[in-house]
Amino acid sequence: MVKYLGQRLIYMFITLFIVATVTFFLMKLIPGSPFNNFEKLSEFQQNLLLEKYGLNDPVPVQYFKYMSNLVKGDLGVSFQFNNTPVTELIGNRIGPSAVLGLQAMILGSLIGIFLGAIAALKQNSWIDYTSTFLAVVGKSIPSFIFAGLLQYYIAVKLGWLPVMLWRGPEYTILPTIALAMFPLSISARFMRTEMIEVLGSDYITLAKAKGASYWQISVKHALRNALIPVVTVLGPLAVSLMTGSLVIEKIFSIPGLGEQFVKSIATNDYPVIMGTNLLFALLFVVVILVVDILYGIIDPRIRITGGKAK
């Protein structure tokens, strides 16, 4: 297990290195410079700034400079936000995004898995049709429309919850629901398909032949086996939710990562683009590792036993 983890860690670093390199050169292809503001800055001032931040050096030189700083843990400073270190910028912004993403993920996947499982158990009943309908609606209606509807009916008309901003737990409810619709519908659809397949398998018939009750069959035998493929899709989905859905953050005025990321691309704020992208990549590889470990817990066939074979 330790050996396996070590190996995975090395692969993770290689992945991150490749992501950093590719992002760096792609980013340099974006036209313009961070200081392209002719109304406030003269050409001389712009040149001074470019010189100061080393942006007049050849791209390979900039690359090596950036990478050597990166290894030391220095992500540089933002051009747009008064030379604030990128780590600090991200640190300030990651909280709301992570809270929102995690809540949406947990809410969405739990309800989705539950709905999918029930739909499969009661196949072709009204419960099945309702949950399938919900899943289709959740997947096909864009989250911003859903967010708008929630704001209008729940916040404005009924006045139960605040319309926007980020000032406490009650402020998180509406954006969480809006963001949860997508993981909900994905996991419901996957779960239903998998569950139906599992319920038709031979070992379920054998469980019935043993005299197991309906409940035992569904929970002990079917659920766990049906969960395996669902975990695969939910992993990467979790990252994209945690790193912030720009649309939802914008609509609810949530000071999250997504909003800042798009702003940094629009203004050629190179260090912030690099820093945020690397964070996304890091989260991604970590989640994939977690998913692989989860696999082992759920499915003994792919458990990483190392040399423990008896």
Site residues, another protein (CB under 8 A) = 123-124, 201-203, 205-214, 216, 220-221, 224-225, 298-301, 310
Report the distance separating Cα 249 and Cα 100, nearest Å.
Answer: 9
Least Å distance, CB 183 to another protein, is 24
**Contact, 251 vs 151, CB < 8 A?**
yes
Nearest approach, Cβ of residue 8 and another protein (Å): 23
Q: Which is nearer to another protein, 2 or 297 (CB)?
A: 297
Positive or negative CA dihedral for 9, 15, 19, 21? Answer: positive
Q: To 10 degrees, the CA torsion angle through 132, 130, 241, 107?
A: -130
Cβ pair 196, 119 in contact under 8 A = no
Q: Tell me the residue length of the chain.
A: 310
SS3 for 264? helix
Least distance from another protein to the Cβ atom of residue 193, Å = 18
Closest to another protein by CB, 37 or 201? 201
Q: For residues 39 and 202, which CB has a smaller minimum distance to another protein in the complex?
A: 202
DSSP lists the bridge partners of residue 77 as 85
Nearer to another protein, 68 or 201 (CB): 201
- Smallest distance, another protein to C-beta of residue 205, A: 6
> E strands within the chain?
none
Q: How does DSSP classify residue 201?
A: S
* Rounded least distance, CB 132 to another protein, Å: 17
Beta-bridge partners for 85: 77
In angstroms, give the least distance from the CB of 7 to another protein. 23
Question: Which of 145, 190, 164 has its CA nearest to residue 100?
Answer: 164
C-beta of 225 vs 264, nearer to another protein: 225
Provide the minimum distance between the beta carbon of 290 and another protein in the complex, in angstroms, as a whole number: 19
Query: What are the residue ranges of helices labelled H in 151-220?
Result: 169-199, 202-209, 214-216
